[in-house]
Structure 1
Amino acid sequence: MRSVPRILTVGLLLALSCAAAFAQGSQTGGITGVVSDPQGAVVPGATVEIISDATGKTERRLTTRDDGSYTATLIPPGTYKLEVTATNFKKTVVKDVAVRITETARQDVTLTIGGVTETVEVQATESLINTASPVTGTAISAQTMERLPLANPNVLFLLSLSAGTASEPTDVRTAGRGSVDVNVNGGRTSNNSVTLEGVNVNDFNLAHFDTVPLPNPNVLQEFKVATSLYDATQGSKGGGALGLVIKTGSKDFHYDLYWSHRNDALNANDFFFNRDGKKRPKFLQNVFGGTASGPVPGAGGFWFFNYQGVRARNGVDPNGSTTNPIVQNFATNTDGTTTAALLASQFNLNVAQIDPVAVKILNLQDSRYGGTYLVPRRGQSACNNTLNGVTATDPGNFTCQFAAVAPVTDNQYTISYDRFWRAGNEKLTGRWFWDNGSIAKPYGTDTSLTFPRTDVQKNRFLSLNFTHIFSPTVVNELRAGYSRYIAAQSPIDPISLADIGATRGNSSQFPGMYRVSVTGLFSIGTGVNDDRATTSNQYNLVETFSWVKGKHSMRMGGEGVQYQLNRFNNFSVRGSLTFGGTGTQANAFNNCKNDTNDCTAFQNFLRGRITAIQSAFGDPARNFVATDYAGFFQDDYKWSPRLTLNLGVRWEGMSFGHDKLYRAGIYDPALAAAGKNPFQFPEKVNLSGFTGTPGVPDCALKNCFDGNNWAPRVGLAWDIGGDQKNVLRAGYGLYYQRLSNQNILQNSLAAPFTVQPLDNRANPVGLQLANPLASIPAPSIIASAYIPSATFFAGLRRVSGSGPLDVNDPGVGPIFVNSAGQACLNYGGTATNCSINLASFTSAPLDAYTPYTQQWNITLQRELWQGWAAEVGYVGTHYIGGLGIWDPYQSSVVSASSPLTVKDINGNSYTITNNTVNNEELRHQILGLSRKRGARFSGNIGQAKYNSLQVTALHRLQRGIYFQAAYTYSRTTDNVSGSLSTDELNATRNGQNGANIYNAQNNPQQNYARGDFDRPHRLVVSYSYDIPVPKDSFLDNQVFKGWTVSGITTYQKGLPFSVTDSTSGGIFGTAAGTAQFVCSSIASAYTQGTVEQRLARYLNPACFTTAPIIPATGFAANAGATGFGNTPRNAFRGPRQANWDLTLMKRFHLGERHQFQFRTDFFNLFNHPVFRFPSTVNIATPATFGLINSTAVPPRLIQFGLKYSF
């Protein structure tokens, strides 16, 4: 499937009219039809003039062909009138012909016999039947957007109205413009494309919608998500193709002023806040602005202008305004302070074992969480006094719910200009968009007791389009575009290292305290990923040549885009300390005092016994560049009046980015197996005396450009009865996915450019909190002490316990040395230049390639009655080559009957028959490599299949009625789903693995199951209705006229999820496993009752256990040596979801030219809580296992809006 016959290649190259480009397809539509006389005979030679309602200018002038047909391509979306003239016929004017993006409107015209000086006016009847192509998806016009409820000025919240789309219900709690992620026909959220005015504005960095330039709804003329089988003019992704088009100027002056207001006095309280007796958080918002348009006096042309401002105070943002920590209950004095003596007594420790820094952390005074101390005390106003998990050996824990206000500011400006020349045969269009937004988040991310952060986002967009009409059938369009965004996150460190009596090597640059995380309980500090900024620039050139010749309507051209991505990320420079349970937990509380390794997580924190350290140093800045090209040829061939064939091919030439200073490294397993340095670097690297590897390309992969991406597109549309009432459509297409830069970014974070030590400690040492990150140096361009060299196995060492050095002893581990024979850091020595993963890294495959999606569909459209239509169809996709994280070299499982023998550099042989945590690196297929120290491999391992029945009933907005009901019955299966809303190589929500596979890391297919975003049933109904009033009745007045009711209703299944076990996979060096299932059936694991009755225990914990320990023959214990659980991936599903949003609108007409509009929007009309699946699905944290503590949408919100139009 990665090539097509040579004839397509030759045909495409002959068709291209200029240098190729890379962007999405067209932002235009078309009009076609047949002109006939009253008896139905065709009228050749008739003149058809297409005139824009907005500007009054002629967009195209055509002559009907011998068969009476006409076709106009590359028509901007909007409404037009057709003026049709022919000898011996009256002039016929067809009004309100709607053109929508990516669609060809059908408008047949019947002439009336008479003189040409006479005029007949006809109202266009918009056909909902597509007789031209198999593309699916529904366009949303500006008039429809204005009517539908929209809590934030973000049209992306309307993307999931069409069949085949799926998303969480609209959640406007995220501060700013909100976060929207949509799955289209089972595709990943990163596999959707976005164009603004036909210009590619996809995020090269993360491949999500959060940073794309987004004009507000008052600016947009139309948008559409083409969900499947879009033609060869569009590409770069294989999911949904979103096109946004900005309004043009107008021939008359028009002005609008608008304001909407949301006040928490009108809002309902959050379900969980209300349940726990806590007051309603702040949630205020004001959106205000105005638009103006008109002609340009003297100079000619038409202009459009919009300004919009947003001012909000958000106290409900789950990613910046709210946090829900679980806090350990511990003893305090009457003033709230605690002491080492109190803690030692309560947690069965000796006073000398208590780390003084731990006591200082617990006594930090800070009022941001509503009390005197940073770490909350029981009885604090925002905390639940009820203790959880109290036992004879555990004083229990309690939960808190904190909310603070995040001020939000946004200002955006939009300008349009359109100018015609040469009697309308040339047209210049310009669009400019400017947006600055900021959010002062009281709480950052990745931490439950987190510190503040300020987020700034700026967008710039400019497009210029030049259209030249060579003849009525030959049109050329040249488009240039530029887009830029700046996204910066700046943390505020209220607590310094000095405040807690600690130090760190880079404290002069980063004085803030390190992050502290107690497993199953709270975490404190700045998130490891909260200090970063990105500046992205994209330059875009698009050429489209359209030629209508006989029965052929051809478009050909090329596209190109250059990406520039400048970023820095001070990832984990402050360090992150994890305190987990160690040893055997059954008696840990009692045994920890005796200096055994058996300690609970909180005991380890008190003792300063760190079980994992994450840190980073080096140069945090990167400057990436990449250039892509594409070419396309599309022919819509009218085989007969009833049958249209769509034949196209697209070539995508996609490059993998590279850093301008060539800071990237890649791991070559073949070199490691040969005893050579497996890390390779671009040949051009030359930094501080460090040079690259001869022959390695700029991006460090084997090939930095993937040009083997040929995508055929075929389709048909058959008008079954010839009356445009029943149409059968079908097609097949291949679509390649422009990956984000994350794959290459992760390569660039390898040593020595950036070093991310990940130190896991099965037997930690106490009293380490004063200087736990002593090895962190000050920032530098090259971490010279960490330039990797070859690494060798040199023998054994005692890690714990006593006795002879036996490789099968759980307390014995390997020694690795560098090429100079020095023992490596973390292996009994101090050498930092070992090529094995002393530092965390993610390596892309040397032969990485572009993922692709096969799409196919067959649909039947039927016109039900005037203005109404229905569509039923089957849509399928097959996604191949998606990115995922795995370990193709996972450690072998050994036994006495299946031993493994390894040799050290001195020729000594070691026969391994036991699977222990410490000999895992010797059982790894690449000696010494291990996931537990941070080594990760990305690869094109992702595969997904999607099959669906899609049903739509539609009435486009006409005569005051809009209605669309879209139902999808589908099944999505995959082996790795990708992340929901971050980058393509990250985890997803609530502990689900996202881009990582579960269990056996070298067998992605065993991970095959329902996808993370699978929703078998989804119904979304959107509607708007102008309530009629009988003319000349007592109701025919300003009080009763002008009322409109609109709404969006969504019903859908909940998302699937997996039950995990963070203690699993010990013998494989990974904790990426599922739990052990012990009940008779999956259904029996669900607890009984309504969802609200099951919030504390959505699943029965008795149905699960942690993965069993694999015994070590000849030894009494084998601590941590677990396998994987047997629970299938995504075997469970969250609660069903239903949501109603409603709008009531009243229009007042003040004379003929003035209109005043008042509206009230209700979001979550019935205030019904819509729950997510459990926040804790890790069976290793039993106290909160199966707990649902969040909703997918806010409680009922009420919003008022005013608008004045002239």
Structure 2
Amino acid sequence: MDVVFARSPTSQGDPCLERSCLSMSDIRIRACALLIVVTMLSLPLAAQEARGTVVGRVLDATGAVIPGATVDVISKSMGTKVTITTNEAGSYQAAFLIPGPYRIEAAAPGFKKYLRDNVEVRVNDRLEIEISLEIGTAEQSITVTEEAPLLNTASASLGGVIDSRRVQDLPVAHGNPFQLIGLAAGVSFTRSQRLDRPFEPTHIVGYSIDGTRANRSDVTLDGAPSTATANNGEVIASYVPPPDIVAEFKVQTATFDASFGQTEGGVTNISIKSGTNEFHGTAYFNKMAPELFANDFFANANRIERPDFTYNRWGGTIGGPVRIPGLYDGRNKTFFMYGYEGIKESRPRNNGTPTVATPQMKTGDFSSLLAHNSAFQIYNPFTRRAVGSRFQQDPFPGNIIPSSLINPVANNIQKYFADPLSTGNPDGSNNFQNPALLEKIDYGTHTIRADQNLGDKQRLFARISWYDRDSDYNNYFGNLATGEWFQFISRAAVVDDVITITPTTVLNFRYGYNRFIRATRGNPESDGFDLTSLGFPSSLNNAIPEQIRRFPRIDIAGYQGTAGGGEWRPNDLHSFNASIQHTRGAHFLKGGMEFRSYRETRRLFANDQTARFNFDTTWTRGPIDNSPAAPGNYGQSYAAFLLGLPSASNSYISRQPDYAEQSLSWGFFVHDDWKVNSRLTLNLGLRYEFENPLTERWNRSVRGFDFGYVPPFESTVQANYAANPTPEVPASQFQTRGGLTFAGVNGQPRGLYNTPKDNLMPRIGFAYRLNPATVIRGGYGMFFGFLGQRRGDVIQTGFQANTPFIPSRDNGLTFIANLSNPFPDGIIEPVGNANGPLTFMGQSVTFFQENPLNSYMQRWQLGIQRELGGGFMVETSYVANRGTHIELNQNLNVVPQRYLSTSPVRDDPTNNYLSANIANPFRNLLPAGAAAAYNANVAARERLLRPYPHFEGVNTTRFDGYSWYHSLQVNIEKRFSKNYTFLGNYTFSKFMQATEVLNQDDARPYEVISDFDRPHRLTMSGIWEMPFGRGQKFGADVNGFANAIIAGWQLNGIYTYQSGPPIGFGNIIFNGDIRNVALPRSEQSVERWFNVDAGFNRVAAQQLTRNVRTFQPRFGFIRAHHVNNYDLSMIKNNKIGEKINMQLRFEFLNAFNRPQFAAPNTNPTVAAFGMIQSSTQDNYARRIQLGARLVF
């Protein structure tokens, strides 16, 4: 049955393809769905695919097509064969070919047999090979010795292949193959370079690809998705194979193939090695030692010795045919491959705040801070008194707290705190840099793959992979108050079946499963901790179940606190793909479907379930309550701790529920690679995706917000307000409308939102051969982002409960709670959705938008490929991307801008007016759990000016963000020949975005340079087998001893240059020329990264607050440090007979020891403004890795 595709000539420019006006009727939706279904059924019936395809035509000497010719594509390593018969147009297609070398044979009656050897098929390759037959007999043959074509004449898609030689021989830390993703054009790395191990799944795929945000691209392993979710909206790699098991992988940066989806654009497609007809394997051992490391830049500056550590990595592979002597010979049929890698490590790691209190401060003596700067004066909250609408308190004489005022619980807690390791900065900060703090790691990973050839018409494979990583780290104080146990557990499996229905039709079915578990817990010594040992009341100790009771969480602004939260968080991903490929005339058709089920469950063991206390400057700054805090909060926050007076903000006991969430996604596609003529190929595709809304198994989630709900207390509140109104809001207009809605109750559906049903994605591309050495390629495609579990978790407001710490009901005139008795009224237990819209009134809430929108990317490219002499290929491309409906978070409950200051300087009259206390109309009216301010006698005026005064925050997501990206990309590649291979890429780009607001109630997001913008990125990599020794250019006639020394040397290297990220600034006062802020590179230092004297107001008392912000958050010409890195290695190959090679490996990572620094401090009120304060450099100092590898 022939199928005719009709496309509206106006569809690409239809404004209703813009999601802001997508209100597609049910008729259009059903019509689109029907088109896809009918099209798929009309084909006789490939999603993301790691295997390659060889296509072409069989011609005679005159160029006429030869129908009915037989083409065999034979794997040289496995002996398996795919047989195709050319159709009436002389076309053939061999699909689902495992990457590797192939031999192509073709024959037709009256023609000589055609033989072409060593055709290299790579990951997701689409090789076009035209076969020319000469007249003759079948007994005659013609052999073609050309290599696989360098030019891509069959597809418009962009990407880079990293072959197994590069994966195994290029110098890479920990052998992590994902570090080579950055060798592709259009890719920039935006995560921490220090987190480069294979079991750090967020950072190792932290790439921004062609204008998409980092961690938004897909990862597939043998064609099946291999991802999980860590942070909201971030895709991570759920499994990372060791290098020796990787056949190769492809970074697909701009693919216009409709079979690819579930991503905003980029895909990393990895293929695992298969066994072959001969037994092959590897075994390796790698060692790092402190004696081979350079010291960290900041450790040197602080005269801290290089820390001790241990590191060993070992592993190997074995593969071949399954043979059971006398019973079964699996050559050409059954193959296996097994790989293992282990890492055992104990290394420095310190993620904490590098500041602790000095011994003098622990006694209450802060006089040294006062001597440094009067802004560090500490005020006595027990002298607080009302002065008009404000509150005033007296300073502690000499900045010394009397011992009689030091809270006994605080005094017991601080016995667990460490003392400083150095003098630090003049203000006492940065005195706890501890590179000697160790993380202990045990890691092991396994992969087993089996391939079965059931004949010329069916091939299948199955793979299972798993790893376990255990870590013990972050024990800052060396006792039970800090320290965490961390575990990643990964399990993966895939089963794939390829069935040849006819010589022109092939089916493929694939099932994949991933389970990724993130498990953390606090120091086990803290389990069941007895709170009475610190002086807390026994009633508090007994109210907390022993299984979750731990050392409490203590947060002190500017200082290292305690830690030790925990969770058990499995992610499960089930995927199923069904696809078909069919050749009809000059059309290479394919269609199919993809289904994914994302599930996550979570159980918390956080130490805020024991208690969390947050200490800031609320009670210790002065002389009035709205005075500026001390720079960096130093001194004042620790004084509040000693006094036993936490802030009401972020001080509570939490009751946390479990959750089990799920979202389902579906994708359907049709695609046609149309060979129009010998020069032109068109890629035409259409993809449709749909996601079911996120659900929670027991409906334990918020759904939305009822903006019209009237709480029962509104009339009383309005009457109270009418007695003392503020002039900005007349009593007749004062309302308390709105409340939460919950899934599955009161008429609400189980789904947490309504998902879009119109995610159609056209894909179009072309490849035009201008001449034998030149191809012009271009394409356009749409790619939709995801909602559901990958973008965010369920919201369990109501099913969790926080018992707030309420220190005072009269703004500190009297204190009703402190550390000695923090929760005198007992613990609040969760009520779920029983209170309906009244839930969490008086607290901050978050809800799902009822009708969210998928973000989508429109990507296009136009480029030219040119084959040069010597096996080089160069490609130059213009690549662009336009993002629409990008999500951004918004708090709806803020003081409207019309009440805020628009002054360019601090506006104290406005500040005082908005923070002035007036009668509180909510006193004792809101449900239990409301913030302390709702039960006080007075309330700040600004609280009553907010649109939802009965809530603290009302948070949701808006979908009007957008971005745009333009780039010039140049790629140079030389495949291995003449003893070397080379790959180089340069990207010049600009990435702009409007995905944030300066003020929460801004109508439009702010257009600014993207935080992912890296305008210049250059990578070069190469492998060179040095021409020394017998059979080489130099030393061809040396004796055996000399040959053993000079032969077999190989040099390998990677160079990376990348612009630094733009530096972010806050709501600051700047009165100069912004162009004078950036310093020339020659003048930059860690003490002065930018010009701090260019016009910044640095006086703490003059900083802006309660104002309409106008200062731009980032500037493209003010950037943090760039990447300029060389990784080099030498390998000595020692042949033992003909089949064994013993390699000695010497790898120099960051060979020239160039530090890369973190972003500088951008708080103008602190002494470290403009300084780089990180306790460690952002990359590693030079590391030398020694290894031995046996290949057989």
Q: Normalising TM by the smaller chain, what interval?
A: 0.7 to 0.9
Q: What is the alpha-carbon distance in structure 1 between the residues aligned to residue 260 and residue 882 of structure 2?
A: 19
Check conservation: 1:281, 1:316, Cα contact below 8 A.
yes
Whether 1:580 aligns to 2:580 is no
Q: Deviations over 1:120-170 (max 9, x none)?
A: 443342222111121111111212211211112321111111111100488
Distance 2:196 2:787 in 1: 26
> Is 2:624 aligned against 1:624?
no
Quick check: 1:734 aligned with 2:759? no
Task: Mark the CA change 1:1191 to 1:205 in structure 2 (over 3 Å): closer, same or farther.
Answer: closer
SS at match of 1:1039: helix
Map 1:940-951 onto structure 2 (within 5 A).
Answer: 940-951=959-970
Matching residue of 1:12: 36
Q: Is the 8 A contact 1:264 1:281 kept in 2?
A: yes
Q: Which of residues 818, 829, 836 in structure 1 aligns to 2:841?
A: 836
Letter in 2 for 1:863: E
**Counterpart AA for 1:94:** R
Q: For residue 172 of structure 1, report the CA deviation from its aligned partner.
A: 4.6
Answer yes or no: is 1:257 the counterpart of 2:280.
no
1:622 Cα deviation after fit: 0.5
In 1, the alpha carbon distance for the partners of 2:482 and 2:583 equals: 62
Q: Given that residues 93 and 120 in structure 1 are in contact (C-alpha distance below 8 angstroms), is that contact kept between their aligned partners in structure 2?
A: yes
User: How far, CA to CA, are the matches of 1:193 and 1:562 in structure 2?
Assistant: 15
Letter in 1 for 2:407: D
Code of the aligned partner of 1:501: G
8 Å CA contact retained: 1:407, 1:439: yes
State how far apart, in whole Å, the 1-side matches of 2:651 and 2:260 are.
Answer: 43
Instruction: Please state how far the C-alpha of 1:250 moved relative to its aligned partner.
Output: 0.8
Question: 1:672 and 1:270 mapped to 2: Cα distance?
Answer: 58
Aligned: 1:1053 with 2:1056: no
Does 2:252 match 1:226?
A: yes
Counterparts of 2:919 and 2:685, CA distance in 1: 56
Q: In structure 1, how many angstroms separate the alpha carbons of the residues matched to 2:825 and 2:590?
A: 61
When normalised by structure 2's length, the TM-score is: 0.82
The answer to whether the aligner puts 1:1039 opposite 2:1045 as a matched pair is yes
- Contact residue 15 and residue 557 of structure 1 kept, 8 A: no
Q: Are 1:1139 and 2:1125 an aligned pair?
A: yes
CA RMSD of aligned residues (A): 3.9
Which of 38, 46, 49 lines up with 2:72 in the alignment? 49
The equivalent of 1:158 in structure 2 is 180
Give the corresponding residue for 2:679: 642
Kept after mapping to 2: 8 A contact 1:589/1:598: no
Amino acid in structure 1 at the alignment position of 2:316: G
The 1:646/1:895 distance shift into structure 2, 3 A limit, reads closer
Distance 2:150 2:991 in 1: 29
Alpha carbons 1:1049, 1:1140 under 8 Å: kept = yes
- Aligned equivalents of 1:874 and 1:896: distance in 2? 45
Mark the CA change 1:205 to 1:337 in structure 2 (over 3 Å): closer, same or farther: closer
Match in the other structure for 2:384: none
Tell me whether 1:293 sits opposite 2:346 in the alignment.
Answer: no
What is the CA–CA distance in structure 1 between the aligned matches of 2:1155 and 2:1000, rounded to whole Å? 38
Tell me which residue corresponds to 1:794.
none
Write the letter of the residue equivalent to 2:775: V
Which of 643, 651, 665 is the aligned partner of 1:607? 643
Q: Quick one: structure 1 residues 598 and 588, their matched pair in 2 at CA, closer, same or farther if it must change by over 3 Å?
A: farther
Tell me the secondary structure at the aligned position of residue 1191 of structure 1: coil
Distance 1:387 1:67, change over 3 A: closer
Q: Name the aligned partner's letter for residue 859 of structure 1.
A: G
Q: Find the counterpart in structure 2 of residue 107 from structure 1.
A: 129
Closer, same or farther: CA 250–772 of 1 in aligned 2, 3 Å:
same
Q: 1:619 to 1:1170 in 2, by over 3 A?
A: closer
Whole-angstrom distance in 1 between the partners of 2:349 and 2:44: 44
Q: Residues 604 and 610 (structure 1 numbering): CA distance in 2 closer, same or farther, change over 3 Å?
A: same
Unmatched 5+ residue regions in structure 1?
365-373, 378-382, 390-394, 685-691, 791-832, 907-915, 977-996, 1061-1073, 1111-1118
Residue of 554, 563, 566 corresponding to 2:589: 554
Q: Could you say what secondary structure the match of 2:173 adopts?
A: coil
Written as runs of structure 1 = structure 2, the 5 A alignment for 1:271-670 is: 271-297=297-323, 298=328, 300=330, 301-319=333-351, 323=352, 325-331=354-360, 347-364=399-416, 374-377=417-420, 383-389=421-427, 398-421=431-454, 423-443=455-475, 451-492=482-523, 496=529, 497-503=531-537, 504=540, 505-506=543-544, 508-519=546-557, 521-526=558-563, 530-571=565-606, 572-582=608-618, 600-611=636-647, 612-615=649-652, 617-670=654-707
SS in 1 for 2:1114: coil
Measure, in 2, the Cα distance between the counterparts of 1:487 and 1:569. 11
Structural mapping, 1:592-991, within 5 Å: 600-611=636-647, 612-615=649-652, 617-672=654-709, 678-682=738-742, 684=744, 692-693=745-746, 695-701=747-753, 703=754, 705-721=755-771, 723=772, 725-739=773-787, 741=789, 745-747=793-795, 749-755=796-802, 763=811, 768-773=818-823, 777=827, 782-783=830-831, 788=835, 835-838=840-843, 840-894=844-898, 918-931=940-953, 935-976=954-995
Q: Is the CA contact (8 Å cut-off) linking 1:1049 and 1:1139 kept in structure 2?
A: yes
Q: Is the 8 A contact 2:274 2:337 kept in 1?
A: no
CA distance in 1 between counterparts of 2:872 and 2:628 reads: 73
Amino acid of the residue matched to residue 600 of structure 2? L
Aligned counterparts of 1:259 and 1:35: Cα–Cα separation in 2: 49
Preserved contact between residue 1107 and residue 1123 of structure 1 (Cα < 8 Å): no
SS at match of 1:1083: helix
1:880-913, Cα deviation, whole Å (9 max, x unpaired): 222321124532245699999999799xxxxxxx
Aligned residue pair count: 1057
Q: CA deviation at 1:638?
A: 1.3
1:91/1:774 CA distance change after superposition, 3 Å: farther
Q: What is the rounded CA distance, in whole Å, between the counterparts of 2:900 and 2:100 in structure 1?
A: 76
C-alpha change, 1:244 and 1:340, in structure 2 (3 Å) is: closer
Label 1:290 to 1:538 Cα distance change in 2 as closer, same or farther (>3 A): same
1:673 to partner: Cα distance: 7.0
Looking at structure 1, the residues matched to 595 and 42 of structure 2 have their Cα atoms a distance apart, in angstroms, of: 11
Structure 1 residues 347 and 101, CA gap change in structure 2 (3 angstroms): same
Task: State the distance in 1 between where 2:187 and 2:803 align.
Answer: 39
Contact 2:481–2:563 at 8 Å: present in 1 too? yes
Distance in 1 between the 2:752 and 2:100 partners?
A: 48
Structure 2 residue matching 1:190: 3-state secondary structure: coil
The 3 A distance-change label for structure 1 pair 864 and 352 is same
Residue 1188 of structure 2 is aligned to residue 1191 of structure 1: no
Q: Kindly indicate whether the alpha-carbon contact (under 8 Å) linking 2:70 and 2:84 is maintained by their aligned counterparts in 1.
A: yes
Counterpart Cα distance in 2 of 1:1158 and 1:313: 22
Deviation per residue, 1:573-615 (Å, 9 max, x gap) = 244333222489676899999xxx9993333233223233344
Which residue matches 1:1064? none
Q: Offset at 1:285?
A: 2.3
Residue number in structure 2 paired with 1:1155: 1141
- Indicate how the Cα distance of structure 1 residues 341 and 714 shifts in structure 2: closer, same or farther if over 3 A, else same: closer
Find the residue that maps to 2:1004 and give its secondary structure. helix
User: Would the aligned equivalents of 2:599 and 2:789 in 1 still touch at CA under 8 Å?
Assistant: no
Which structure's residues are more often helix, by fraction?
2
Distance 1:156 1:1056 in 2: 25
Contact 1:338 1:363 in 2 (8 A): no
Cα deviation code 1:4-27 (max 9, x no counterpart): 977754432212359999x95222
Contact 2:226 2:237 in 1 (8 A): no
Shift of 1:70: 2.9
SS at structure 2 position matched to 1:363: helix
Question: Residues 335 and 452 of structure 2 are in contact (CA less than 8 Å); yes or no, is this contact kept in structure 1?
Answer: no
Q: CA deviation at 1:964?
A: 1.5
Distance in 1 separating the partners of 2:650 and 2:962 = 34
